[in-house]
Amino acid sequence: MPDWLTAQTFVSVHVFFIMVHVILLTVAYLIYVERKAASYIQDRVGPNRVGFDFGLPWLKPLRGMLGLGQPLADGMKFLLKEDYAPDRVDKKLFTLAPMVMIVPALIGFAIIPWGGTIVLPDLDLPLIGTMEGGPIVIAGLHVNVGVIYLISVATLSVYGVTLGGWASNNKYSFLGGLRCTAQMISYEIPLGLCILAALLLVGSFLPEEIIGYQRDHGWLIFAQPLAAIIFFIALLAESNRIPFDNAEAEQELVGGYHTEYSSMRFALFFLAEYAHMITGCAFFALLFLGGYELLPFVSVFPAVAEGSILAVLGIAALKFAVFFGKVLLLVCFMILIRWSIPRLRYDQVMMMGWQAVIPISLVLVVLTSTMVYLGLGGVVPMFIANAILAVVIVALVPVLPRTRTNQRLPLYGSRFCPVTGSTVQTGPTDPLAREDRPLQGTVTA
């Protein structure tokens, strides 16, 4: 066996390639689940025709099947459609953009320790000889930078959005790409600060140690509930999900940065979006929901699986099932949000990001570091501190100065028109605009 091929490398590469397939399959069926959920919420039936009969008479029993063959049919169709680039696009960048989008989405989840740490016995493998056993982590990549890798790789997909919008040479694409870039980089900051607030308690970058801390001290969602909420909001904004999907606001921007894309290039954008959702939810589960631990304050699985090869692989599979179950629940929650909440306006998204979420997460980091300094880094003091901060925020909201821009226009006859006799509060400050609008002061009749 060659020197450079350690057990960790061997296992990592295999885990990664298994997980890529698992995640791509999950993505395909997530799209199906999303369509089904949407149709039930909107009182429709949704996809229910495509089974696995492929139109063949002797496979008739496989027809229908609740439309479970739909993802396969969609994938085939993406592959068979024309890969078209309009005349004015920048051909090179136009082809590059979906690749730049999909590569980070595929390699980002590599550090997630799906199966925890196992002690692998010595193995005799065909072709490569005896592999020396030892403790290894069931993850695609086990590096000392840990979560930093995930943050930095996931951020790279911003380039895909920017390039896609720019290369299309279409005004809608360009605006969509610009908006999306600005939104993604804005919500990167609260994302980073919330990870910081969690890491301040853990004191390590390594995913295994983050889970280990949560095994000993309870899940971080109890110690840092505010950070968890802000992290989830930022995740929604990062993966361009409703209520933050201004990049492809259909009423304003047609399809956003992928307006001009077709066939597999469009499918890669689509895949990347869903793969990002799964990566993000796995990150959330890792940081705040205890990773592969089943219960919040009780440890069910052994921290390090030891024993025969079957036993350790069994425990790793169980841990993976728990971890992936949490990820699927979170993704379903995202889907539920998508079909329940209307889209925010773009200026509302950005103002929420810069004027609310970022200051709150900054205060949270200061608060957490002070608590750690005072030796109050446990679950109960941190929960109380978070609760106090939440109360202070809610109490401060009415006191803060309010912006007058983009508020309701008190146009006479509109549904925003104030009640007769009440004083009109909002109005343009520009004197010229004031002349245009007679409705200022008190509403008479």
Sites for another protein among residues 184-203 (CB under 8 A) = 185-186, 188-189, 192-193, 196, 199-203
- Alpha carbon separation from 187 to 158, 191, 233, 265, 366 (Å, rounded): 12, 6, 9, 26, 19
Q: Do the beta carbons of residue 157 and residue 105 sit within 8 Å?
A: yes
- Alpha carbon separation from 293 to 229, 310, 312 (Å, rounded): 20, 20, 16
Among 58, 124, 127, 144, contact with another protein (rule: CB under 8 A): 144
The two tokens of residue 25 are: 């399959």
Of 15 and 335, nearer to another protein (C-beta) is 15
Q: What number of chain residues touch another protein (CB under 8 A)?
A: 86
Question: d(Cα 93, Cα 72) in Å, to the nearest integer?
Answer: 29
- Binding range to another protein, per CB under 8 A, among 74-82, 232-240, 389-397, 426-434: 74-82
Is 369 a binding residue for another protein by CB under 8 A? The answer is yes
Among 362, 389, 390, 439, contact with another protein (rule: CB under 8 A): 362
Question: d(Cα 382, Cα 384) in Å, to the nearest integer?
Answer: 5
Is 429 a binding residue for another protein by CB under 8 A? The answer is no
Residues 231 to 260 in contact with another protein, rule: CB under 8 A:
254, 259-260
- Binding range to another protein, per CB under 8 A, among 102-110, 114-122, 126-134, 332-340: 102-110
Specify burial of residue 374 (Cβ count, 10 A radius: 0-12, 13-18, 19+): exposed
* Helix or strand holding residue 18 (H, E): helix 7-41
Is 86 a binding residue for another protein by CB under 8 A? The answer is yes
Residues 6 to 35 in contact with another protein, rule: CB under 8 A:
6, 8-9, 12-13, 16-17, 20
Of 35 and 142, nearer to another protein (C-beta) is 142
Question: d(Cα 430, Cα 410) in Å, to the nearest integer?
Answer: 16
Is 422 a binding residue for another protein by CB under 8 A? The answer is no
The two tokens of residue 351 are: 């103002």
Sole residue written with tokens 């049919």? 73
- Binding range to another protein, per CB under 8 A, among 30-38, 179-187, 392-400, 426-434: 179-187
Cβ atoms < 10 Å from Cβ of 180: 26
Residues 213 to 232 in contact with another protein, rule: CB under 8 A:
none
R_g (Cα) of the chain, nearest Å? 26
Among 120, 358, 360, 382, contact with another protein (rule: CB under 8 A): 358
Report H helices in 289-405. Answer: 309-338, 346-351, 358-373, 379-396
Of 42 and 251, nearer to another protein (C-beta) is 251
CB of 294 to another protein, least distance (A): 26
Residues 109 to 138 in contact with another protein, rule: CB under 8 A:
110
Question: d(Cα 294, Cα 292) in Å, to the nearest integer?
Answer: 6
Question: d(Cα 367, Cα 391) in Å, to the nearest integer?
Answer: 14
Among 268, 282, 312, 315, contact with another protein (rule: CB under 8 A): 268
Is 140 a binding residue for another protein by CB under 8 A? The answer is yes
